[in-house]
Amino acid sequence: MADTSNVTEILFLGFSQNQNVQKVISALFLLMYTAIVLGNGLIVVTIVASKGLTSPMYFFLSYLSWVEICYCSVTAPKLICDTLTRRKVISLKGCITQIFFLHFFGGTEIFLLTVMAYDRYVAICKPLHYRAIMHPRACGLLVAAAWGGGLLHSLGQTFLIFQLPFCGPNVIDHYFCDVHPVLKLACSDTVLISLLIILNGGSISVLSFAVLLASYAVILRSLRSRSAQGRRKALSTCASHLAVVALFFIPCSFVYMRPCVTLPADKVVAVFYTVLTPLLNPVIYSFRNAEVKSAAWRLLRRRAIGEGSR
């Protein structure tokens, strides 16, 4: 942190200063966070424990669900605790740490969604070569690349914020630390850093979204020659993936692919990509899948029988 900084903590305004409203928000987010951990955790355990879910699609899905838990955990627990107190505060180092993990898991999720689109492209457009292309080592490398890409993105964003001096004020109109609201607190010229932040976040979003669109354009074109049943099965899987992509990319694009200014709507929009997407992922992408659903029920039944026999 720059030597001229004299700010040691940052205050959040949150969603409301009304104590009754804060209690409702706390209960609502606690329910959603619990559902996120249980739903995505069940997917991870089901895929790891089930011998039938061994295809690359489920391998990537287990990592996506794990990232969703981690991503939501960066902001939700802090928000839940803050709504129970009058003074919503975080240390400056804690704020920078929150930015790092927010963009680490967020960037990893973007790359994982892109990898999953590539997996669907290979499965549908090159079915005879699918096992040869998406072999276990290749899948492991793709997942490692997603984690590495998220780490590089996060290090870039965090470094740009970390070197800034903060002399006051120390209040941000948000419920967690992110690059745009924290950038407004810097007491130095931030024009160049703002451009670098947009280039870092925007380029990843644009390139990943372009790959996603290209993959699905090719997939849709190839489906024209398939039978009606084959089209329905492929479109069902692709539609679920596209729903998750839309829920994540559209709000992220609204926040990060524009000049570094904060808007009143940013807090509400942030809920979509930090909470609602992890919450809906098990529903729209996993539990609509008959194989995952049946494997989860078998796992729960075995667990129930094992507890009952003790």
Give the pLDDT score at 304.
64
Q: Which residues of 89-126 are buried (b: 16+ CB within 10 A; e: fewer)?
A: ebebeebbebbbbbbbbbbbbbbbbbbbbbbbbbbbbe
Query: What are 95-109's pLDDT values in tens digits?
Result: 999 999 999 999 999
What is the residue-wise DSSP string for 180-218? HHHHTTBSS--HHHHHHHHHHHHHHHHHHHHHHHHHHHH
Residue 89 counted as domain residue: yes
Give the pLDDT score at 309.
55
Residue 310 counted as domain residue: no
Any idea what the CATH number is for the domain that residue 169 is in?
1.20.1070.10
Residue 92 counted as domain residue: yes
Residue 302 counted as domain residue: no
Residue 236 counted as domain residue: yes
Residue 308 counted as domain residue: no
pLDDT along the chain (310 residues), means of 10: 68 84 90 94 88 86 94 93 86 92 94 90 86 92 95 92 83 89 85 85 79 82 72 71 79 77 80 89 72 77 63
Residue 11 counted as domain residue: no
| Domain housing 161 | 19-297
Which residues, in sequence order, are CB contacts of 191 under 8 Å at separation 6+? none
Give the pLDDT score at 263.
74
**How many domains does the chain contain in total?**
1
Residue 169 counted as domain residue: yes
Whole-angstrom Cα distance, residue 272 to residue 249?
10
Instruction: Give the β-pairing of 171-172 and 89-91.
Output: unpaired
Give the pLDDT score at 305.
65
Give the pLDDT score at 214.
84
Query: What are 159-169's pLDDT values in tens digits?
Result: 988 888 888 78
